[in-house]
A and B are shown apart, each in its own frame.
Chain A
Amino acid sequence: MNPYAIPPLITEVILIIIALLVFFKSNTSRINRIFILFSSAMALWLFGYINMYLNNNDAMLALRWARIGFIGIIFIPVFAYHFIVAFLELKRRLVLPIVYLLTIPSLILSQTDYIYGGIKRHFWGFYPTAGRIYIFFLLMFAILFTRGVLLLISHINTESGIKKEQIKYVCLAFGLGTFGIVDYLVKYPIFDIYPFGYICALLFNGLIAFTIIRYRLMDITVAITRTGVFVAVYTLVLGLPFAAATLLKPWLIGVFGSQWWMAPLVLMAALATAGPFIYIFLEHRAEERLLHEQRRYQDTLKQASVGMTRIRNLRKLLDLITHIVTKTVKISYVGIYLYNEESNSYVIQVARDKGRMPLPTVAPANPLVSWMTLKREPIIYEEVKRKMQDAISTVHSLLEENMRLLTASVIIPCFLEDKLLGFIVMGDKISGQIYTPDDLNVFQVLASQAALAIENARFFEEAKEMNEQIAQAEKMATIGTMADGLSHQINNRFYALSLIAGDTIDTIKLTDTSQASPEIKEMISSINYALNRIQANVMQGGEVVKGILKYTRKGNEGLEPVSLDQVLDGAIDMLQYKIKLSEIDLVRDYPKETTPRIFGNLVQLQEAFFNFIDNAYDAITERKVTLKEEGFRGKIIVAAQAGANGSLEVTIEDNGMGVKEDNTKKLFTPFFTTKTSSRKGTGLGLYVIKKIITDTHKGKIAIESAYKKGTRFIVELPVAK
């Protein structure tokens, strides 16, 4: 068997495998389909020629096989040209149909001797010789080839991003494929060279397949450099010893005798060991030079990442991130979205833009969010678009659409442990270049640092807020302690006043005024009345002070059985000095005898209910003042019934102004108040209630409210056994 048939055979097998790979990647994409056709043409060519080589003894049979192979060859340039047209997404042109038309005469002539005149034996086996028309075929081939390559080159500058990179790869493939011309030349007697065209075909197909299968391509210059350095290093590693063995053989025999082949072997071993290191070293140097620009901004980004965590102000941090990214990477657009707890969506925080209005919010249900949460890596628009075109799954069209809405070229997620804190949206690079894998690596570093820094900044802001709250609470506590001392002082004044007035009234009583003139009698009567009025006021003042003392008294933490009546009585006791209880109807709607007792702290419960009723009263007042309804009468109902798990469910319902829905969540946060009147509270009331109910009593509190209708608080309290 002709050994020279083996290399083309191997090539054929590899080509078929490559075609299958492309087929399985996607058989619906036009480009893929044309590629497969193209591969089939090549396969037919090789099939014919392999058999030609194998039939080394029968010239006529060999020629017939050559002519069969030619059928494949006819279609190679045609399909290649068609591939370029489809790849560049050009409109239907005139050239293509004409070219397809021309295949007909070619096909007819292929089996005659106008194409392959005869067959000649070379050292590698039979090979056809050119017929009379063959030159025209070559001409057509050359024209198509040239035209195709020119089209490709002209589009390098008009495309951007990954397409641009792909075109470069395809050009490279055609460049390598050019060497295949040797196969055609050998058909002329002048050229007696071994037809290694099949190697070029292999490289060509391989490179094109690589370009259309891979979604993420590295920069072509990097690819070429790496390949080049690799080939150079290994040529050295293998070539030097080989050269030594052949060229220096006599000298080596002279020095080492019969074991001379050890020397080249040792040399090869040494070079092979050093090989990887030499490769890495050269590669590094080469890339440094090539990617100088890119490395520059990548380093800047890395440095910035580290410095970021020190910034405590969130706004400043976000501005810094966008500034760095736009300036160093030179992008057209950057936007940062952060997760907002309250609105349960990702909200745009800051954007550097050339006049476009960014999308303000992104919902957590958005496919982009789910995708990022799952994959935990950046999403690249061009990749997504290609996958969508390859119709891999519907999710890609959803992703593509959403990315378009965000005008995103790349989206980088920022993860803090398992949670997606937010993401950075980037537009195209101004230069039109693609985002390389290196770029994405650096961005990911940036993103994770950003996540940390953002969390940090937020934490500081919260801590600041909390400190302010604590300071406020301390102030309140101080006032509480002061009230104690103050009220004592005030009581002393009242006592003195009481004695003074009292004693004087007594003196008047004991004095005999019967002999006094009517005017004197009248005066004494007035004085007496006045002194009595003073006494009455003093008494009332004393009661007010008692009320304050009750309110600021530090209740102990102990829990005991208390009845709802006791609680309400105490609350009302304190309330009568603050609000006009006569203006509203306060209804107790629970059976006194059968309502179970609450296991709680009486003082704190009284405080809680004081706040409930006080708030209800304010809401009622607000309604009165705002809506001014005829005959409106404020009503507060306190009801109780059995609650879940043997607890007591107490409801405090009022027909006041109610609360708007977005405020119901915030109501229990300290210092939040919707009170618009001058009787604005400290905003601590409901916060204090919540603490009392949930912390001390381990109960639950909920609110239902309808704006302009009323509010209901539902409280669950433990029952005393």
Chain B
Amino acid sequence: MVMAKLLIVDDEMDVREFAASFFRKRKIEVITASSGEEAIRIVEKDGPQLVLLDIKMEGMDGVETLKRIKDMGKKISVVMVTGKKPDEDGTFEKCRELGATDYIHKPLKLEELENVVLRILKNVT
């Protein structure tokens, strides 16, 4: 069985570090990216199965990154992470159209995050 590979994309260092630490304890390979551009490079090169994608980032935002990733045509699940409260500007719809697998709101408990990630990876691997 190939080891699950998870890409965490967030411009916050603490978020990347501690989320990564958490999932590594569960025998998941974790790569991190701090920007949309970096994320795309990694997807091309390393091909993770799941991407945790923060929506609000400097430079290329999450929605744009999602589009680019999906355009690559690889089989890859993308979970959007947003700080905004219940969808105010149709971003949810947009992401769904672009093919996002799930859409979660922060702040959320680590357990919830764990559930989402493990559920999706189980289907994939």
Q: Which A residues contact B (CB, under 8 angstroms)? A: 488, 491-492, 494-496, 498-500, 502-504, 506-507, 510, 535, 538-539, 542, 546, 549
Cα A488 to Cα B109 with chains together (Å): 17
Cα A542 to Cα B19 with chains together (Å): 19
Q: Are B85 and A503 in contact (CB under 8 A)?
A: no
Cα A279 to Cα B85 with chains together (Å): 92
Q: Are A495 and B85 in contact (CB under 8 A)?
A: no
Cα A279 to Cα B14 with chains together (Å): 105
Question: Pick the contact of A502 from B84, B85, B110 — CB < 8 Å?
Answer: B110
The distance from the CB of B61 to the nearest CB of chain A, in whole angstroms, is 14
* Given A500-B18, A503-B18: A495 touches B25 (CB 8 Å cut-off): no
Cα A504 to Cα B14 with chains together (Å): 12
Q: Are A507 and B21 in contact (CB under 8 A)?
A: yes
* B108-120 contact mask (Cβ, 8 Å, vs A): 1 or 0: 1110000000000
Determine which residue in B25, B85, B106, B107 has the highest number of CB atoms from chain A within 10 A of its CB, and name it.
Answer: B107
Cα A542 to Cα B25 with chains together (Å): 27
* B17-46 contact mask (Cβ, 8 Å, vs A): 1 or 0: 011011001000000000000000000000
The distance from the CB of A655 to the nearest CB of chain B, in whole angstroms, is 36
Q: Are A499 and B19 in contact (CB under 8 A)?
A: yes
Q: Are A498 and B12 in contact (CB under 8 A)?
A: no
* B56-82 contact mask (Cβ, 8 Å, vs A): 1 or 0: 100000000000000000000000000
Determine which residue in A499, A503, A539, A546 has the highest number of CB atoms from chain B within 10 A of its CB, and name it.
Answer: A499
Interface status of B124 (Cβ within 8 A of chain A) = no
Chain A residues near B18 (CB, 8 Å)?
A: 496, 499-500, 502-504
* Given A496-B15, A549-B85: A491 touches B107 (CB 8 Å cut-off): yes
The distance from the CB of B4 to the nearest CB of chain A, in whole angstroms, is 18
Q: Are B25 and A492 in contact (CB under 8 A)?
A: no
Question: Pick the contact of A496 from B12, B22, B56, B110 — CB < 8 Å?
Answer: B12
Cα A412 to Cα B113 with chains together (Å): 83
Cα A280 to Cα B18 with chains together (Å): 106
Cα A506 to Cα B24 with chains together (Å): 12
Q: Are B14 and A500 in contact (CB under 8 A)?
A: yes
The distance from the CB of B86 to the nearest CB of chain A, in whole angstroms, is 10
Cα A503 to Cα B56 with chains together (Å): 23
Cα A500 to Cα B19 with chains together (Å): 8
The distance from the CB of A446 to the nearest CB of chain B, in whole angstroms, is 62
A contacts with B: majority SS: helix
Q: Which B residues contact A (CB, under 8 angstroms)? A: 12, 14-15, 18-19, 21-22, 25, 56, 83-85, 106-110
Q: Are B110 and A503 in contact (CB under 8 A)?
A: yes
Q: Which 5 A-B pairs have the closest CB atoms?
A: A502-B110, A503-B18, A496-B14, A495-B106, A503-B22
Chain A residues near B84 (CB, 8 Å)?
A: 488
Pairs A–B under 8 Å by Cβ, sample size 22: A491-B106, A491-B107, A494-B106, A494-B107, A495-B15, A496-B15, A498-B107, A498-B108, A498-B110, A499-B15, A499-B19, A499-B22, A500-B14, A500-B18, A502-B18, A503-B19, A506-B22, A507-B25, A539-B107, A539-B109, A542-B107, A549-B85
The distance from the CB of B104 to the nearest CB of chain A, in whole angstroms, is 11
Question: Pick the contact of A498 from B56, B85, B109 — CB < 8 Å?
Answer: B109
Chain A residues near B12 (CB, 8 Å)?
A: 492, 495-496
Chain A residues near B14 (CB, 8 Å)?
A: 496, 499-500
Q: Are A503 and B21 in contact (CB under 8 A)?
A: yes
Q: Are A488 and B83 in contact (CB under 8 A)?
A: yes
The distance from the CB of B78 to the nearest CB of chain A, in whole angstroms, is 19
Cα A258 to Cα B65 with chains together (Å): 126
Cα A341 to Cα B56 with chains together (Å): 55
Cα A542 to Cα B106 with chains together (Å): 9
Cα A506 to Cα B22 with chains together (Å): 7
Question: Pick the contact of B83 from A495, A500, A538, A539 — CB < 8 Å?
Answer: A495
Known contacts A495-B15, A495-B83, A504-B18, then 11 further A-B pairs from the complex at CB < 8 Å, ordered by chain A residue: A488-B56, A492-B83, A495-B12, A495-B108, A499-B19, A500-B14, A502-B18, A502-B110, A503-B21, A535-B109, A539-B107
Chain A residues near B19 (CB, 8 Å)?
A: 499, 503
Q: Are A506 and B107 in contact (CB under 8 A)?
A: no
Cα A474 to Cα B20 with chains together (Å): 44
Chain A residues near B107 (CB, 8 Å)?
A: 491, 494-495, 498, 538-539, 542
Cα A539 to Cα B84 with chains together (Å): 16
User: B21's closest neighbor in chain A, by CB?
Assistant: A503
Cα A539 to Cα B85 with chains together (Å): 15
Chain A residues near B22 (CB, 8 Å)?
A: 499, 502-503, 506
Chain A residues near B56 (CB, 8 Å)?
A: 488
Q: Are B110 and A506 in contact (CB under 8 A)?
A: yes
Chain B residues near A507 (CB, 8 Å)?
A: 21, 25
The distance from the CB of B54 to the nearest CB of chain A, in whole angstroms, is 9
Chain B residues near A539 (CB, 8 Å)?
A: 107, 109
Cα A538 to Cα B106 with chains together (Å): 12
Cα A542 to Cα B12 with chains together (Å): 18
User: B25's closest neighbor in chain A, by CB?
Assistant: A510
The distance from the CB of A541 to the nearest CB of chain B, in whole angstroms, is 9
Cα A506 to Cα B20 with chains together (Å): 12
The distance from the CB of B118 to the nearest CB of chain A, in whole angstroms, is 14
Cα A538 to Cα B19 with chains together (Å): 17
Cα A496 to Cα B56 with chains together (Å): 14
Chain A residues near B110 (CB, 8 Å)?
A: 498-499, 502-503, 506
Cα A107 to Cα B56 with chains together (Å): 125
Chain A residues near B85 (CB, 8 Å)?
A: 546, 549
Cα A495 to Cα B105 with chains together (Å): 10
Cα A491 to Cα B56 with chains together (Å): 12
Cα A492 to Cα B14 with chains together (Å): 10
Q: Are B109 and A502 in contact (CB under 8 A)?
A: yes
* Given A503-B22, A507-B21, A507-B25: A491 touches B15 (CB 8 Å cut-off): no
Cα A539 to Cα B18 with chains together (Å): 18
User: B11's closest neighbor in chain A, by CB?
Assistant: A492
Q: Are A506 and B25 in contact (CB under 8 A)?
A: yes
The distance from the CB of A287 to the nearest CB of chain B, in whole angstroms, is 81
User: A489's closest neighbor in chain B, by CB?
Assistant: B83
Chain B residues near A500 (CB, 8 Å)?
A: 14, 18
Cα A617 to Cα B84 with chains together (Å): 32
Chain B residues near A506 (CB, 8 Å)?
A: 22, 25, 110
Cα A535 to Cα B107 with chains together (Å): 11
Chain B residues near A502 (CB, 8 Å)?
A: 18, 22, 109-110
Cα A492 to Cα B106 with chains together (Å): 8
The distance from the CB of B80 to the nearest CB of chain A, in whole angstroms, is 14
Chain B residues near A494 (CB, 8 Å)?
A: 106-107
The distance from the CB of A64 to the nearest CB of chain B, in whole angstroms, is 121
Cα A498 to Cα B19 with chains together (Å): 10
